Amino acid sequence: MDDVVLECRNIVKHYGNVEALNGVSFELRKNEILGLVGDNGAGKSTLLKIIRGAVQPTSGEILINGKKVEFSSPMDAAEEGIQCVYQDLALVDQMTIVDNFFLGRELREKKLGFIPVLRKKKMENETEQALKQMEFSMDVNKKVSDLSGGQRQAIAVARAVFADPKIVLLDEPTSALSEIAKHEVFKLLKGLKEEHSLIFVTHDLNNTLQLCDRIIILKHGVIEYEGEVTKDLSLEELLSMM
């Protein structure tokens, strides 16, 4: 199918004696939000880490647009258009929004040979534009430590999207947020699927049903359930599979 952007085939991951993933196969389609749900220790983060190149699978294959890929680092994955937002990749509190945006990307900018002042202006403009595209406007020279949790998450999402990835991976990006902030971030994520495909990892089934087009339930490293999100999906039934 040509609307498949990412395919995982029979992914297995062992950490010593722990079988974190036991043969996981699924597809991610163009313009969809795929929810990856499961209890603590189900293997969700491990799966995302493999897709973003931070961890190598024991066996199995990953295909991007039908082409087999092997990632030995997140940089490899980024080159294939994969970006990630996850909780422990927090923004740097003591830095401004714009500096967080360009953190780790300054090198590419330097090649352009702008004198520092111009470069700063250019980075500010680009950051403002990126936020505006997500219908977010704020002073990009504000320190991240002065932002609310929801604003911070929005900045983290914007930062990932700024790299113009095909695929955005989100690992529990809203778990620390209030209902209102969560609602804002969800709105933003729904807007993103026009141009990107998203995998949203959470252990919160309710959230998944609000946000996602399709869900996968992972249990002890295997897929227990996979299906479209429809109005008649029963929360109880899904919970019983977690």
Residues making contact with Mg ion (CB under 5 A)? 45
- Sketch the per residue contact string, 19 through 48, with ligand ATP: x for CB under 6 A, - otherwise: -x-----------------x-xxxxxxx--
- Which of the choices Mg ion, ligand ATP, none does residue 193 contact, using the CB cut-off of 5 to 8 A by kind? none
Tokens standing for residue 1: 């199918």
Tokens standing for residue 80: 């294939």
Q: Give residues 185-224 in contact with ligand ATP (rule: CB under 6 A).
A: 203
Query: What is the widest separation between alpha-carbon atoms in the chain?
Result: 60
- Whole-angstrom CA distances from 172 to 89, 180, 200, 219 are 11, 16, 7, 17
Distance CA 215, CA 226 (A): 6
Nearer to ligand ATP, 18 or 235 (CB): 18
Residue 45 CB, nearest distance to Mg ion (Å)? 3
Nearer to ligand ATP, 21 or 91 (CB): 21
Residue 83 CB, nearest distance to Mg ion (Å)? 18
Nearer to ligand ATP, 18 or 92 (CB): 18
Distance CA 91, CA 67 (A): 33
Nearer to ligand ATP, 91 or 216 (CB): 216
Among 3, 10, 15, 164, binds ligand ATP (CB under 6 A): 15
Backbone dihedral angles phi then psi of residue 4, each to the nearest 5 degrees? -90, 120
The alpha carbon of residue 27 and the mean position of all alpha carbons in its chain are separated, in whole angstroms, by: 16
SS3 45: helix
Backbone dihedral angles phi then psi of residue 80, each to the nearest 5 degrees? -90, 10
**Kind and range of the H or E run holding 24:** strand 18-29
- Which of the choices Mg ion, ligand ATP, none does residue 168 contact, using the CB cut-off of 5 to 8 A by kind? none
- Which of the choices Mg ion, ligand ATP, none does residue 20 contact, using the CB cut-off of 5 to 8 A by kind? ligand ATP
Nearer to Mg ion, 45 or 151 (CB): 45
Please choose, from the candidates 146, 145, 172, the residue with its C-alpha nearest in 3D space to the C-alpha of residue 35: 172
Residue 52 CB, nearest distance to ligand ATP (Å)? 13
Distance CA 92, CA 134 (A): 21
Residue 189 CB, nearest distance to ligand ATP (Å)? 19
Q: Which residue lies nearest Mg ion, judged by its C-beta?
A: 45
Residues interacting with ligand ATP, by CB under 6 A? 15, 18, 20, 38, 40-46, 203
